[in-house]
Structure 1
């Protein structure tokens, strides 16, 4: 039995603006296309710099370290790899962006938020390629992603009816959609030239969201995929040729996937277990 319009509205938890944003992302993803080098010439190619973050490197879980090390093989292809912790990320932001942004970083109450805020800061200032510490590299070449400076992100789609992620092989097909699907962009990978306008907008929006809250804000909406996707919507919704600034990486899982069976996901280091809660880091024995 098909749902009528009123039943759909009752079951749809999204606001009107959130639904508009999701529908925009759907069109952006399903119409994603390459542009020639000339049309993207105003965005210089990003440096072949891979950046990662773990707040406390002295207590880096062994299984996370293995994920991070998988990217080392790209050093043979001319990539540099740099890992930041909380202190070095804070110093980078203070040095390159100033006290306002440093204070916003400090107000990020969970390592996941700090990692989100740092990636926007670093890529805006330097450009390059940010990848989460729990992402595993599969070995396929990525040089083609550094031919121009467009922002490149992985699309996601969540089905609120089944409470499951929709496979990219399904939701990226032209016209694929259901009322229960929510389209958005992941924050990893984050590849762009320095001073990219969408990254700048995301950094500013995240800063404003942090500054506006005295309590502990929701992670996704403040620094995560929510604020990133909102910023993309604000920047590109009225653009005739959004592909000049942005490319959706619909086949990213051929290059890398996030490893879910990791030790830290069972404790407070997992933002999903600490969302809007005071983060209390504990010492962990990693084997």
Structure 2
């Protein structure tokens, strides 16, 4: 477990970043999820919410022609959300959470204990045909099996300019601009893209005999909960319904 320290000493900005593609059509149930984070303003947080227009304006202000063109190629709101979170956290740092995450307790303070990037590990058990429980990911006594380990891109906490985000944004931009065909969300802008960037960066640090500048969050489920029973999950706003995943 991460030992708690004073979060005020961390250089990760107390900025919370969220995205919903159309601010005027924010569902009430999603709004309620986002409102659960409002109490962080009492802890000195700035809450920033982006929609498509604000995201496009932000990328135009902080980035160049390639990034603007790449964002324009993000056809689904989930892909635009993926791309925007990398842009904001790379430029300014902070904590990104999905709009359907609900804040539970005060465990978020552990995320701000130091300047290392924080991401959530996940594992898909191919043999069982489902995701492993977060507590089981760390177990060393499990029988051998086919498992896929990766990191989620929700949440992401990082200081500005983190090299993993830099690599992830470049990789996503290259893929978006380099293909004329179908672009799978997970691999192009989502968790697969972030995992590839993190793995490459970790290997570079190992070769250079340098310590890791990132951490895996062991207990995100105790910090926030994703709400699955939301209205938008039944229509095209849910990328899984559009892309058959």
TM-score, normalising length from structure 1? 0.78
The one-character-per-residue Cα deviations of 1:107-135 (angstroms, maximum 9, x if unpaired) are 00100000000000000000000100011
Secondary structure of the structure 2 residue equivalent to 1:154: strand
User: What is the aligned partner in structure 2 of residue 147 from structure 1?
Assistant: 113
User: What is the aligned partner in structure 2 of residue 253 from structure 1?
Assistant: 221
Aligned pairs for 1:1-287 (under 5 A) are 45-174=11-140, 176=142, 178-240=144-206, 244-275=212-243
C-alpha RMSD of matched pairs (Å): 2.4
- 8 Å CA contact 2:82–2:190 kept in 1: the answer is yes
User: What displacement does 1:149 show?
Assistant: 2.0
User: What displacement does 1:177 show?
Assistant: 6.3
Matched positions, count: 241
Distance 1:258 1:175 in 2: 28
Distance 1:60 1:102 in 2: 25
Secondary structure of the structure 1 residue equivalent to 2:13: coil
User: What displacement does 1:143 show?
Assistant: 2.5
TM-score, normalising length from structure 2? 0.91
Quick one: structure 1 residues 171 and 98, their matched pair in 2 at CA, closer, same or farther if it must change by over 3 Å? same
The one-character-per-residue Cα deviations of 1:25-64 (angstroms, maximum 9, x if unpaired) are xxxxxxx977x99xxx9xx711100010000011111111
Distance 1:174 1:88 in 2: 45
Distance 2:166 2:172 in 1: 10
User: What displacement does 1:99 show?
Assistant: 1.9
Runs of 4+ in structure 1 over 4 Å off: none
- 8 Å CA contact 1:56–1:86 kept in 2: the answer is yes
Whose strand proportion is higher, 1 or 2?
Answer: 2
The one-character-per-residue Cα deviations of 1:84-107 (angstroms, maximum 9, x if unpaired) are 000101111110012210110110
Q: Where does structure 1 lack aligned partners over 5 or more consecutive residues? A: 1-31, 278-287
Quick one: structure 1 residues 62 and 176, their matched pair in 2 at CA, closer, same or farther if it must change by over 3 Å? same
Bigger shift: residues 172-181 or 161-170: 172-181
